[in-house]
Structure 1
Amino acid sequence: MANSPYSFEKWRQHVATDPLEGHEVSSLNDSASTDSAEPSFCTGTGLSILSDYICPDIETAEREVVFVTCFWATMSKSRLRLCDALRALSEKVVKKRADGTTHTTTTENIKVYICLSSVSLLQKLRHIKSADGYVYDPTEWNEKLKLPAPDEIPGLDLTVKSIFIRPFSVMHPKFVIVDRKFVWVPSCNVSWESWYEGAFRLKGSIVEKFHKFWAEVWNPETLRLQGVAGDVAFPATADVNLPPLKDQSTKLQGRLLKSFANIPANREIQTLFLPSSHHQNPAFRPCNMCRAPRSEPRTPLNAFTKFLFANAERDIYITTPNITAKPVIQGLVRALERGINVTIITNTNLMVTEQLATSGTTTGCCIKSLSKLHKRVLGAWAAKATDGGEESPDVKKPGKLSIREWRAARKGRDISGETAFAKSHLKLTIVDEKVVLFGSGNMDRASWFTSQEVGVALYSAEVAKEILHGVLLKDIEKYTRTVYES
């Protein structure tokens, strides 16, 4: 992949000639080249992903758990499952102390950090203005967040913190780090919605990038005191034995790719860590007519996404909850003009109020606009191709555009009693079946202009093909319908 127009080397050259925006937090200032290994990928509802995969991995922790989410629904089964995992983790420590036969070593409490941004509208309206955030007192854990009270988890040293920057800047990343050995990167929050979600599990040096990002954003006091990113070394990739994942696909709630047959266990995959800092809604106006023109912040995630669109050679595949960001629409139109095929999977009736508040438009309006622009591109090509009455071989035929709307055929219930994938909340882009871009970022204006995000790019044809052809297409065909196709 070294010779591809979107290779590591070409990306570095691109950034050197057109620098990323500066930021005082070093983790938000650069697109870090790193590696990952033993990827796993699963789909399902947020509850099934947390219950079947993430929480069992949390329960294996021996020293530290970092749990970062955007939205925290106090009255949700996902919250209940996470609380059960915290109790189990605490009980493990307490039992180990009780079973100890020697006093020469001490069983330390496991450190657990829960980081969140949004609980309710009232919480956001009342949130402190400081980017340092708000640390919940232990007496508030149960009262405000329905977490276990301190006496329920004596084996844990729990810290709970929220950060929200008014008016719209949520901390949107979602990831879980266990013992600094591996990281889960899900699309889901701790919420009640029965949406289609996905999650990657990775080990390798990518874990250190996530941990440094977390420490600088959520736990800077530790860095100031220690002067380093942590007091525990990160294990070598080859020394990390991942907990086994139990395939829960028989529940009909999702699928699991726990191994990629063509990738050896400890083979390093070229990876980019791509953060995007929050901004206090630059240049936003509630009406399109009075909105000042302003380019999007040149964050690593924004810049790399545009870089992929501009250098795709064959096809771009996007699944996103919403699509309202003008840079995305413009980049896709230019790709179509170059002959690149584009497929978009999205929703047309998801968080419409939020879309209007943060972007002044909706996904439904934007995909109609994109369809019209594509027809215009096709018309211009047809006019040039037949100029003079003969087709011109020098005129590049535009790419095909396919837009599919997430709409379950039935609004019934699956075998576990939950509504089956009412909407899609997965954020995933695959280019040329070679590069997989995933994380918290949507293709909407909020993610591109205001929210803090984290993305990861895997340079792996094996991963891209297995996910696209082995997992997604089966669900896409089942739960979507075509809105536009050329």
Structure 2
Amino acid sequence: MLGDESSSLLNKSFHDLTSDSTIEDFCIGTGHTIFEATLLPAILSAQYEIVLATCFWAPGPTLESLNLALKQLSTRVIASSSQRKIKVNICLSSRSLFQKLFHTASKHGYTYPPDSWKSKLGLPSPEKIPGLQLTIKSLFFRPFSVLHSKYLIIDRRDVWLPSCNVSWEEWYECCVHLRGQVVNHVFAFWLDVWSSPDEAFDTVPQTSSTSDIPLQATYPEPHSSHKTSFTTSPIIPTTLLPHPHNASIRHSLWFLPPRLTPPPQTPLNTTLLHLFNHAQKSITILTPNFTSPPVYIALLTAISRGVNIHLITNRRMMILEQLLTSGSITERWLWRLKRAYKGLLLPRQQQSPSNEASALESARPGIGSLRIDIFSPPTGTSGAASAQVTREDLEAGLVGQAAAAAATTKVHIKLTMIDDEIVVLGSGNMDRASWYTSQELGVMLRGGDVVRRMWSDVQAGLEGCLERYV
């Protein structure tokens, strides 16, 4: 049975969660560079309210930059002699193993007292940010129900959906900036999950666009990031795909037979399965891990009816987490997928074991192709790649995408593209945790030109960083 979080959104129909929204920009890079290029300037532009939700929270450059931004924002408020503080809500789920083991089971979570902000979270103490009304809360449901969604809402007017956390991780990430009715849907999702009955939320006046508000402090565009701004702000059909956490022990026990544990029927799960089942030409997936049985079955089914599959993932990423939540690891599932694909090809091609490589290169009539790439950036580039790039090169758009991936160690982007026309972004991985137990939030964007432009940015960053598996 599904948890009761985001129940009001889940009661909405698929049509109710779809609206025409505008895409403002799309950014790729590391978590730190995305924060400095996109998210922190947005925070500094806030006039009334900030909502920042993240899964993992850990010390590192990103947290240091966020700390500085909150102080600068407070200074701006005080300097303006405003009688109104800016409300800042920070929401997190995973901080340490100890925190998760002893976390309260209350659905209202744990609110951090002000005297712990600095010592436990690395944030400014209250006297350092007098212009802000800061609330920090955590939610986690044992044994495995982490709140994995990540988003930033500014003044209930703009929303950013990054793939990255507030952490030290140097991974290849992305972030999409949207405006329109989808912002109200994300805010409603946040209220359903994070608000308490005794909390009151005032209406927020309609402000000018954040892009029209001068920033009091700016961050240089990092060399290891690349941002595509959609100057015409294309209007595209946008569907929010909430996925509540599932604390059911039935879904938490990975060793139960798959037929006994179908995935929860959430908007994110059902939409992805629908897209897989109705893809006509191609399915492209970027995912940190690949351990979801429903996805494995759906991809094989799609291949058998002629759809071409391209899967990009990692080796040796979060091994312990994979074992705890799925009882297996990505490498095992990739081997199974390769073996099953070979089985689809061999009956007609009559390939012998010695000809396995040629069998996998071309599918028999009616069978789609399978390509699996492992993210493997050149050795020695991580962290320092951007130092060799000049400002002029970046502004000319010559190296931003390539440097963005070369400065990372793993791919953490969660992207599913169908027929080059539809893309699903957000926090959900193609692993068992995201499909069964974790809370996730995705968004489906429909529009060939926009989708292909976003994929072009991601693909350019992947150049030279992929190792062919199949």
Structure 2 length as normaliser, TM-score? 0.86
Question: What's the offset of the Cα at 1:479?
Answer: 1.1
Deviations 1:12-57 (A, max 9, x none): xxxxxxxx97956212444411231033111100000001211011
Aligned to 1:205: 181
Distance 1:55 1:206 in 2: 21
User: 8 Å contact 1:247–1:256 — kept in the other structure?
Assistant: no
Distance 1:276 1:289 in 2: 22
Aligned to 2:339: 372
Distance 1:88 1:40 in 2: 24
Q: Counterpart amino acid of 1:65?
A: I
Q: Counterpart amino acid of 1:425?
A: H
Aligned identity (percent) is: 38
After superposition, the CA RMSD in angstroms is: 2.5
Distance 2:450 2:183 in 1: 19
Is 1:117 the counterpart of 2:93? The answer is yes
Distance 1:287 1:114 in 2: 32
Deviations 1:174-213 (A, max 9, x none): 0000111101100000010111000001111100001111
Aligned to 2:462: 476
Deviations 1:288-340 (A, max 9, x none): 47777310101100000000000001100100000100000000000001100
Aligned to 2:431: 444
Aligned to 1:407: 376
1:21–1:462 CA distance, 2 compared to 1 (3 A): farther
Matches within 5 A, 1:252-401: 252-259=223-230, 264-265=232-233, 267-280=234-247, 282-283=249-250, 288=255, 293-380=260-347, 382=349, 397-401=366-370
1:247–1:405 CA distance, 2 compared to 1 (3 A): farther
1:432–1:39 CA distance, 2 compared to 1 (3 A): farther
Question: What's the offset of the Cα at 1:472?
Answer: 1.8
Structure 1: stretches of 5+ with no match in the other structure: 1-19, 98-105, 384-394
Structure 1 length as normaliser, TM-score? 0.84
Question: What's the offset of the Cα at 1:232?
Answer: 1.6
Distance 1:283 1:381 in 2: 41
1:128–1:312 CA distance, 2 compared to 1 (3 A): same
Higher RCO structure, 1 or 2 (CA under 8 Å, sep 6+): 2
Question: What's the offset of the Cα at 1:233?
Answer: 5.0
Distance 2:230 2:209 in 1: 16
Aligned to 1:27: 9
Selected match of 1:242 from 205, 211, 220: 211
Q: Counterpart amino acid of 2:70?
A: L
Distance 2:177 2:368 in 1: 33
Distance 2:344 2:219 in 1: 45
1:247–1:56 CA distance, 2 compared to 1 (3 A): closer
1:286–1:177 CA distance, 2 compared to 1 (3 A): closer
Structure 1 stretches of at least 4 aligned residues deviating more than 6 Å after TM superposition? 244-249, 289-292
Is 1:91 the counterpart of 2:91? The answer is no
Q: Using the TM superposition, name which of 297-306 and 371-380 deviates more.
A: 371-380
Selected match of 1:80 from 43, 64, 68: 64
Distance 2:31 2:367 in 1: 38
User: 8 Å contact 1:283–1:292 — kept in the other structure?
Assistant: no
Distance 1:243 1:83 in 2: 24
Q: Counterpart amino acid of 1:82?
A: L
User: 8 Å contact 1:64–1:110 — kept in the other structure?
Assistant: yes
Is 1:463 the counterpart of 2:461? The answer is no
Aligned to 1:16: none
User: 8 Å contact 1:164–1:170 — kept in the other structure?
Assistant: yes
Distance 1:193 1:478 in 2: 21
User: 8 Å contact 1:173–1:454 — kept in the other structure?
Assistant: yes
Distance 1:284 1:307 in 2: 21
User: 8 Å contact 1:274–1:457 — kept in the other structure?
Assistant: yes
Matches within 5 A, 1:50-61: 50-61=35-46
Question: What's the offset of the Cα at 1:377?
Answer: 1.3
Q: Using the TM superposition, name which of 409-418 and 132-141 deviates more.
A: 409-418
Q: Secondary structure at the match of 2:197?
A: helix
Q: Secondary structure at the match of 2:94?
A: coil
